[in-house]
Amino acid sequence: MTEPARGGAAPTTGILPAALPPTTRPSTALLTDKYELTMLQAALANGTAHRHCVFEVFTRRLPAGRRYGVLAGTGRVLESLPQFRFEDAELTFLEETGVVDSRTIDFLSGYRFTGSIMGYAEGETFFPGSPVLQVEGTFAEAVLLETLILSILNYDSAIASAASRMTSAALGRPCLEMGARRAHEQAAVAAARAAVVAGFAGTSNLEAGYRYGLTTIGTAAHAFTLLHDDELSAFQAQVAALGAGTTLLVDTYDVHQGVIHAVQAGGTGLGAVRLDSGDLGGLAVEVRHQLDELGATGTKITVTSDLDEYAIASLAAVPVDSYGIGTSLVTGSGAPTCGMVYKLVARADSSGVLQPVAKTSPGKPSQGGRKSAARRLGPDGRAIEEVLVSGDDETVARWSPETDDLRPLLVPLVIDGAVDSRWVGPHGVESAARAHQASRAELPRGARRLSAGDPAIPTVQVTLR
């Protein structure tokens, strides 16, 4: 068998059919459960579609044993809003498959969200019942957004909640996101973003770098070493191409021989070596010793291989310099979704007066009425309670704390359909990362414990008179 002449740069035999369907599309409108549209049809028919409504997003409980949750995805919700449009492709599909009637199709063709959205700042910690998002508008406008909003917040918050435990456990050492291959390809981009919200220093995911300006990292896999006739020539090729500051993966064959080859190829100024298998703790100690003996005292050690927050914590006393984290991050480290729900809490009655509503059958209770929220701080500035404020709707809507010990949590995100651009794009990620750092620092010290326990602070209800 001879080395084939064809290379990617000048393909001669590649004939890919042009008729394949697109894997993604600009409109986000069909990322929606069918029942949102059938409810709309029925509500348009009897006029209730235009009743003013307040929906709230909250979670009934944290994943078992978790001390706090981290809200992420708010910026993505806002980014997806302008594309929540029913264009020809969507309308034709809905018509041809009989999902809804022609009156509803007409309505959808002009659909724009013109309501308002309040919510916790992205990156904020949350607790059971925290109203992390509040959507206000007509039933028609607001109900259609349920599925998309929950998809985004449930996934992104699950990842950020896990990521925050990892950056906590890493005690300041950089955590790097490398989980793209263990998540849906688009979810992976959101996971990288959510990880950075919760303190990760970078990601291997190029699309996340492109979309959100995140720092991208990565050098080589085992395949690169195996591609070459021997390890030393692979390392020499990598250093020649990427410079001596690169990270060499030293565990393809024998780790200690790999370290010798690495310093041979990169010199004592080699950037780093990476360990991706075996007993990482024991190996790291040996490799540190070996690097120092070879004079590569500034060469760092990065470890990867099925790390989670517990593994990271177990490496605290070991001389490693950074953590590459994949599977457990992008799957939420045992809690791959957040359980957030989108509930109608108030709606106008037939005379236009907003009334609190709630499901009352046993099993999944929720409290009716619009809530406001604040975090109560103790004298030392640490959080002691999540305060949910309810009562007369207009009073709650206008409520703000009168005392310094209450930090208000709801901020405006969309006003009459206009998205506040501070929360979107790369800037939104930076703001969220800052918000997370501040919010986590404010929690009681016990909040950072990895062991299972109750939420770090209790949620209390306050009713305004």
Shortest CB 433 distance to a copy of itself, Å = 18
Neighbouring CB atoms inside 10 A of 114's CB total: 12
Non-local CB neighbours of 211 within 8 Å, separated by 6+ positions: 189, 193
- Give the count of beta carbons closer than 10 Å to the beta carbon of residue 240: 11
Shortest CB 253 distance to a copy of itself, Å: 5
Q: How near is the Cβ of 282 to a copy of itself at its closest, in Å?
A: 12
User: Smallest gap, in angstroms, from Cβ of residue 441 to a copy of itself?
Assistant: 29
Task: Name the residue with tokens 């894997």.
Answer: 23
Q: Tell me whether residue 168 or residue 225 sits nearer to a copy of itself (CB atom).
A: 225
Q: How many CA atoms lie within 13 A of 461 on its CB side?
A: 12
Q: Is 86 or 456 the residue whose CB approaches a copy of itself more closely?
A: 86
Q: Which is nearer to a copy of itself, 6 or 434 (CB)?
A: 6
Q: How many whole angstroms separate alpha carbon 197 and alpha carbon 435?
A: 9
Nearest-approach distance from CB 25 to a copy of itself, in angstroms? 7
Q: Are 149 and 73 in contact (CB under 8 A)?
A: no
Q: How far apart are CA 181 and CA 179, in angstroms?
A: 6
Contact call for residues 449 and 440 (beta carbons, < 8 A): no
Question: What is the C-alpha to C-alpha distance for residues 201 and 244, in angstroms, rounded to an integer?
Answer: 21
**Least Å from the CB of residue 200 to a copy of itself:** 14
Tokens linked to 12:
């001669």
Shortest separation between residue 374's beta carbon and a copy of itself, angstroms: 24
CB atoms < 10 A from the CB of 313, how many?
Answer: 15
Residue 92 or 463 with smaller CB distance to a copy of itself: 92
**For the CA atoms of 359, 361, 363, 366, what is the dihedral angle to 10 degrees?**
30
342 contacts 57 by C-beta, under 8 angstroms: yes
Element (H, E) at 107: helix 102-109
| C-alpha distances in Å from residue 26, one per residue of 30, 154, 171, 276 | 11, 21, 40, 38
- Minimal distance in Å, beta carbon 99 to a copy of itself? 7
Contact, 354 vs 52, CB < 8 A? yes
Closer of 222 and 448 to a copy of itself (Cβ): 222
Between 99 and 260, CB nearer to a copy of itself: 99
**For residues 433 and 72, is the Cβ–Cβ distance under 8 A?**
no
302 touches 322 (CB < 8 A): yes
Which SS3 state, helix, strand or coil, does residue 301 take?
Answer: strand
Distance CA 464, CA 334 (A): 38
The span from the CA of 227 to the CA of 195, in Å, is 32
Cβ distance to a copy of itself smaller for residue 251 or 386: 251
Closest distance to a copy of itself from the beta carbon of 178 (Å): 7
User: In the complex with a copy of itself, which residue's Cβ is closer, 225 or 439?
Assistant: 225
Least spacing, CB of residue 415 vs a copy of itself, in Å: 9
Of the two residues 227 and 464, which places its CB atom closer to a copy of itself in the complex?
Answer: 227
Q: Residue 209 CB, nearest distance to a copy of itself (Å)?
A: 6
List of residues 6+ apart from 166 with CB closer than 8 A? 175, 198, 200, 307, 308, 309, 312, 323, 325, 328, 329, 333
- DSSP state for residue 216 in the 8-state scheme: B
The smaller minimum CB distance to a copy of itself, of residues 185 and 292, is found at 185
